[in-house]
Amino acid sequence: MHSGEVWKRVCERARSENGNMLCVSSAPGRVDFLNTHQDYKMLPVVPAAIERRTFVACSKLDRLGVIRVTSLTLEREGVESKDVFPTDEAELMEGKWFGNYFRSIHRLISDRYGRIEPGLAIYVDSEVPVASGLASSAALHVSLAAMYSSLLKLGLNSMQLAELAYEAEHNTMGIPCGRLDQYAAAYGGIIRLDFEPSISVEEFDGSGILFIVADSGVRHSTAEIHPVRQSELNAAVKMLREASPPEPLLKMLQGNYESVKWRALREEDLKDFLSVLPSKLSDRIVFTLRMQSSTEMALQILKYRVTVKSGLEKLGLKPVEDWLEALGEIVNLQHVLLRDFYEVSHPKLEDMRDAALESGAIGVKISGAGMGGSLLAIVRSLSEAPRVEEAFRKAGAQSVFATSVGSGVSATLV
């Protein structure tokens, strides 16, 4: 299925049932490209938007004061696909009701920008696989935020749309998410999303990069992963403080995992003190430092499209000439860190990864929290993609697709 087909289908449905279409919007899914598992430590993260998108079309209802929602995606699956709620009382339903995604953003927009008077029929369809670690919910929320911004002529920019989508999911729906997914959907491309001293976004050129995304079909909740790793980090930091490091180091290690000065810490400075930690706790610290340093090197390569051989050697990597090969080397390093130092891989992921590397992928890593979900692979060219895709399938991938780096959210009044 291609974006043009989905766009056409959702628009045709809006026109055929109501005839008075007002707006169409869309936003991309994303892969978790670099510095995975670092945002909750207030370190920068690097998502990349994919070409697969979620589309929203809306038309005006003759009936005032009512929002009617139809999910064409759920309709095809034969499950509950419609929701209706009043414009002035978008209360959330209990449980995992799909309509809460629409209700939450509607309520937030209404509270902040004023009551929405006309009745609306909203239709949604998506190419972004659900529950595959590709941020399908953020693509929906950002698409909806852009739709309302266009309808109400709010003129919201990418950061404002991302924040609205984040507030709807995190604050209104109570889902413990970070901002990674929403910002990736709003900005598109490849971005460096940082949180200190305040939220900032640096955009990078994603041309020349082709990903293969492979869903393992293995499901594991991030709610089961994050709290455990966060607790381990807190224990490690506490033990490091108790090891009586020099005052400058001690100052960097104050507080919990969120407030540690990770950017200022150097592995060589901690070497003597890491030895007092149990190996698992030491690994969690080493993971954090090496992921951060390798991410900064990868971004330099991405920005200038040149290889820094001395930097690669410092990371223990081959000093390759080609910038894309160098990026692949760092992607592989980050997977090894996720597998061996953070222990969030899975046997099926490893089988799939081995198959992809043997078939010619230059870098393959976990995308998302891990212990299941998806892998992303970088390939040299479109001609090599089918071979890597087939290798993933033979290794048991549930779904596989190739994608260039996608564009950000868009909305058009009709």
Give the tokens for residue 344: 């969030």
| Length of the chain (residues) | 414
pLDDT digits (tens, 9 = 90+) for 374-393: 999 999 999 999 999 999 99
pLDDT digits (tens, 9 = 90+) for 133-156: 788 999 999 999 999 999 999 999
Torsion-angle region of 288 (φ positive above 0: left; ψ -120 to 50: alpha; else: beta):
alpha
pLDDT of residue 244: 92
Contacts of 193 (CB under 8 A, 6+ apart): 39, 44, 45, 46, 47, 179, 180, 183, 184, 199, 200, 201
pLDDT of residue 62: 78
Q: Which domains are present in the chain?
A: 3-204+407-413 (3.30.230.10), 222-404 (3.30.70.890)
pLDDT digits (tens, 9 = 90+) for 159-206: 999 999 999 998 999 887 889 999 999 999 999 999 988 999 999 999
Quick check: helix, strand or coil at residue 44? Answer: coil
Residue 1 has pLDDT above 60, yes or no: no
pLDDT digits (tens, 9 = 90+) for 265-277: 999 999 999 999 9
C-beta of residue 368 within 8 angstroms of C-beta of residue 181: no
pLDDT of residue 63: 79
The whole-angstrom separation of Cα 331 and Cα 301 is 12
What's the distance, CA 190 to chain centroid?
A: 11
The whole-angstrom separation of Cα 230 and Cα 212 is 30
Contacts of 60 (CB under 8 A, 6+ apart): 18, 20, 22, 118, 119, 120, 121
The whole-angstrom separation of Cα 215 and Cα 392 is 9
pLDDT of residue 2: 60
pLDDT of residue 17: 82
Q: For the chain, give the mean pLDDT.
A: 93
Claim: this prediction has a pTM higher than 0.85: yes
pLDDT of residue 223: 66
Tokens 């209104």 belong to 172
C-beta of residue 285 within 8 angstroms of C-beta of residue 240: yes
Q: How far is CA 403 from CA 29, 145, 206, 382, in A?
A: 11, 25, 11, 10
Q: What is the mean pLDDT of residues 215-223?
A: 81
Residue 399 has pLDDT above 70, yes or no: yes
